[in-house]
Amino acid sequence: MIKRLILLFLLLSFFCAGQEIGQAATKNRAYWEAKGDIVWDVKTNDKVIALTFDDGPDPRYTRQILDLLEKHKAKGTFFVMGHKAQKNPTLIKEMHQKGHEIANHTYHHPQLRTITASDLRKEIRDTDNVIHSLTGKYPTLFRPPGGVYDDKVVNAAKAQHHLVVMWSWTQDTKDWKNPGVQRIVNKVCNNAKPGNIVLFHDAGGNREQTVQAVKIILDKLSKEGYQFITVSQLLPYKDKKVSTKTPK
């Protein structure tokens, strides 16, 4: 009798574990996109692209990127870290005044697989408060460090009324590795499609290659008819079929 109970317990444990694994396996990109909780890119026929920059601001490189964007009348989305934003209030205010989007990238850039849900919510909340104190607006977008996404991350972002924003799978420049200016340029330009969200970094190391690549990319894709808008400006395009309207 005892052996039968043990066997039954093991079978039930195995079945439940299998269910949990199956449920976890379904929570891939398709699952989260269907729920509308995470965005990687937007399907559209309009030649619009969102350039995004993580880990800043950094006075050395963010300033140069802002100048390049202004030259091309382009808008960018900056996923800033709270403690760096607090140290560089002038840059944050300038981004806001020039119409760029300031989004949340946590306060300290923690390891999301080990941080508690409570601590993650605090990281997001503290960064929101810094951005609000400098711009008068709370951010609406959140990008998790390392591109980690799961229930904990999504729920923490939603608790702060944020949409999780990733990047197009073909548009991870890996510029943090300093692979060379031309490789960054080729990655973006050779894979450019309407509705792309491109991942760059404007801090966290030497970003001279990123700055030089952004200059070339802006020149090249502008000539191909692309316009550079913020992620929040890009999102409404998913509800359009075909449009020729120029983004404001």
Could you give the count of Cα atoms lying within 13 Å of 196 in the half-sphere of its Cβ?
24
Rg (CA), the chain: 20
User: Distance of alpha carbon 135 from its chain centroid, rounded?
Assistant: 20
The percent of the chain in helix, strand and coil, each rounded to the nearest 5, is 50, 10, 35
**Distance (Å, rounded) from C-alpha 150 to C-alpha 133?**
29
How many residues comprise the chain?
A: 248
**Distance (Å, rounded) from C-alpha 28 to C-alpha 199?**
20
Residues designated as active site: 54, 201
**Cβ atoms 55, 202 nearer than 8 A:** yes
**Cβ atoms 189, 220 nearer than 8 A:** yes
What is residue 49's three-state secondary structure?
strand
Q: Which of 230, 213, 233 is nearest to 68 (CA)?
A: 213
166: tokens are: 């990733």
Measured from the Cβ of residue 176, the count of other Cβ atoms closer than 10 Å reads 18
